[in-house]
């Protein structure tokens, strides 16, 4: 079972991702967070196999949250969820494709 943490400030987005993910019996959203602080708390308490992270959180910089996750939990892949074009972050080198 792949355990997923979804970090997004919009409850409807979290529910949508959960609905899509759980169509596959091999995956389950086992944690939801609306802030970076909530995500860090969950990551410290339980294991996750993947983090789905929105870069556009209202009071936090998603890139900084990404950096903290990759520093504290380097083995966990992070899937970036963003309304911005890939060129703004991934291609520019702000986020490594291998991270």
Q: What are the pLDDT digits (tens) for 23-75?
A: 999 999 999 999 999 999 999 999 999 999 998 888 888 888 999 999 999 89
Q: Which helix (H) or strand (E) holds 42?
A: helix 36-45
What Rg, from alpha-carbon coordinates, does the chain have? 13
Q: Region 68-85: what's the mean pLDDT?
A: 87
Q: What domains does the chain contain, in order, with CATH numbers?
A: 1-54 (3.40.50.2300)
Give the pLDDT confidence score for residue 29 in this predicted structure: 97
pLDDT band at residue 99, thresholds of 50, 70 and 90? very low
* Residue 78 pLDDT greater than 50, yes or no: yes
Give the pLDDT confidence score for residue 98 in this predicted structure: 47
């Amino acid at each position: 079972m792949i355990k997923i943490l979804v970090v997004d400030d919009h409850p409807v987005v979290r529910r949508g991702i959960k609905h899509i993910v759980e169509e596959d019996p091999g995956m389950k959203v086992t944690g939801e967070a609306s802030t970076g602080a909530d995500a860090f708390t969950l990551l410290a308490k339980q294991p996750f196999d993947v983090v789905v992270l929105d870069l556009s959180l209202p009071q936090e910089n998603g890139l900084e949250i990404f950096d903290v996750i990759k520093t504290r939990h380097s083995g966990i892949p992070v899937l970036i969820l963003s309304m911005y074009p890939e060129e703004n972050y991934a291609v520019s080198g702000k986020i490594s494709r291998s991270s």
